[in-house]
Amino acid sequence: MLNQISCIMFSTLLFFISVLGIFLNQKNILVMLMALEIMFLTLGFNLVSSSIYLDDITGQIFALLILTVAAAESSIGLAILVIYYRIRSVITVELMNLTKG
């Protein structure tokens, strides 16, 4: 079984990979959304591993809350992207600031 330090190190590594994914790829919004989802998942993984280590269910409840918020965020983001793609036929980030509203 994994110990607490290795779980935290794995979670931190995935978190920084997703941060790099956001900062290094600023043209494609879908890749940025996927990196944001990885950030949410690593946060949930960190909470669950801490909850198991401390023998407390609070971390697991917060992880479920984070997963729910992440699912709602991704569904709203993808719906906005589909509408934007139908209007502009492109989903690059550079042209997003040209929209009104």
Q: Which residues, given as ranges, of the chain have pLDDT below 70?
A: 1, 93-101
Residue among 23, 33, 18, 12 at smallest CA distance from 76: 33
CATH number belonging to the domain at 4-98, selected among 3.90.1280.10, 3.40.50.11030, 1.20.1050.10, 1.10.287.3510: 1.10.287.3510
Indicate the domain borders of the chain: 4-98
The helices-and-strands tally (H runs, E runs) of the chain is 3, 0
pTM attached to this predicted model:
0.80
Cα angle: 61, vertex 64, 68; to 5 degrees: 140
What is the tens place of the pLDDT at every residue in 47-64?
999 898 888 999 999 999
